[in-house]
């Protein structure tokens, strides 16, 4: 295993920020971990596990060992009467997994099409979109304790999934390396088309009874129309979480702003962060090469030469603006380093 010095991370973060890692190693097999853990730099310096870099903002060079997970492989483990259990290695591209599952007629992940990143990051973030979340069809995962080298199987309860959160972002943060993830997918499909933008797109496609392939196509169309391609315009998708407020707070906001976009959420009310940011006047804003996407205010973009600090400064200005106007706190969904 080759350790590379002062390695550029521009191709390893979807913002396209030009930063470098003091040391960089590519881990293609879980068995490589023993070699990684024995490196002097692993023992003496900080280290970071990085997958596709689609949910991270680097604000400077990384002064430590960066471990890029690149393990590949996916397969059906077993079939049940109404389900199939599918396993994917953490280095697999997420959307390639979704496409593969839909192509085999296994339902459940189609609403999560075109989410950038790798499979291993999915449970950490409990990724979600268009009325679905990863936890809805999660079966289990294998996680390696970086300190002991022990591999543990985590089921849904042990993962403690929440809104864009899990045990691996809370109590187990930085403790584990996710090696592989398993999903319980449907043979008899349960189509989810309740999300407004998805329903509108299916109407535009003149589809009344969609199958999972059509849902995937509609999701891809919606995402392509609203979200920039990171290969053309640097971004990490939604920069902020949709904030959740109490029913009382929501009633006061709705009285002041009748067009407020919101959704019920576990006894509270989830607000559309993109709507709040747009109403605060940020949609399409640009300063230098740091900006807000002109089609979706929830997406911060790098027009080419922005630094991570430029993006972070813009994000903080947006947070202050939304807090002053709506008395609502926005929390980043992106990991800031």
Active site residues: 164, 238, 333
Distance in angstroms (rounded) separating the CA atoms of residues 181 and 32: 18
Longest dimension (CA), the chain: 61
Q: How far apart are CA 326 and CA 276, in angstroms?
A: 8
Contact 281, 326 (CB under 8 A): no
- Whether 117 and 97 have beta carbons less than 8 Å apart is answered as no
User: How many other CB atoms are there within 10 angstroms of residue 242's CB atom?
Assistant: 22
Please name the residues in contact with 66: beta carbons below 8 A apart, sequence gap of 6 or more.
7, 9, 21, 23, 24, 25, 47, 48, 50
For the chain, the straight-line distance linking the first and the last C-alpha, in angstroms and rounded, comes to: 26
Collapsing DSSP to helix, strand or coil, 79 comes out as strand
CA-based nearest residue to 93, from 76, 73, 109? 73
Task: Count CB neighbours of 298 within 10 A.
Answer: 26
Q: Which of 274, 307, 273, 271 is nearest to 289 (CA)?
A: 307
- The burial of 289, by beta-carbon neighbours within 10 Å (0-12 exposed, 13-18 middle, 19 or more buried), is given as middle
């Amino acid at each position: 295993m080759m350790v590379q010095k002062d390695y550029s991370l521009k191709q390893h973060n979807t913002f396209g920020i030009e930063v470098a890692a003091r040391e960089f190693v590519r881990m293609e097999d879980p068995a490589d971990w023993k070699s990684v853990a024995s490196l002097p730099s692993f023992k003496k310096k900080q280290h970071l596990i990085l997958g596709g870099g689609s949910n991270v903002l680097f604000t400077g060079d990384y002064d430590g060992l960066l471990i890029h997970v690149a393990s590949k492989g996916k397969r059906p483990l077993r079939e049940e009467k109404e389900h199939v259990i599918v396993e994917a290695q953490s280095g697999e591209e997420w959307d390639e997994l979704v496409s593969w599952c839909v192509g085999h007629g296994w339902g459940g992940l189609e609403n999560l099409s075109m989410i950038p990143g790798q499979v291993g990051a999915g449970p950490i973030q409990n990724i979600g979109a268009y009325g679905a979340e990863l936890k809805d069809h999660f079966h289990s995962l294998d996680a390696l304790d970086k300190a002991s080298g022990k591999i543990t199987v985590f089921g849904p309860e042990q993962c403690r999934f929440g809104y864009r959160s899990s045990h691996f972002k809370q109590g187990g943060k930085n403790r584990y390396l996710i090696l592989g993830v398993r999903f319980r997918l449907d043979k008899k499909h349960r189509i989810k088309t309740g999300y407004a933008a998805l329903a509108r797109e299916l109407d535009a496609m003149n589809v009344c009874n969609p199958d999972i392939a059509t849902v995937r196509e509609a999701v891809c169309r919606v995402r392509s129309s609203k979200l920039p391609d990171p290969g053309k315009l640097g971004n990490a998708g939604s920069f902020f979480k949709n904030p959740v407020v109490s029913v009382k707070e929501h009633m006061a906001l709705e009285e002041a702003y009748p067009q407020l976009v919101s959704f019920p959420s576990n006894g509270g009310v989830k607000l559309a962060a993109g709507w709040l940011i747009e109403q605060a006047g940020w949609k399409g804003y640009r300063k230098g090469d740091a900006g807000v996407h002109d089609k979706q205010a929830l997406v911060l973009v790098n027009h080419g030469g922005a630094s991570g600090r430029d993006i972070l400064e813009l994000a903080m200005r947006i947070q202050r603006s939304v807090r002053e106007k709506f008395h609502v706190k926005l929390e980043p969904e992106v990991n800031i380093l």
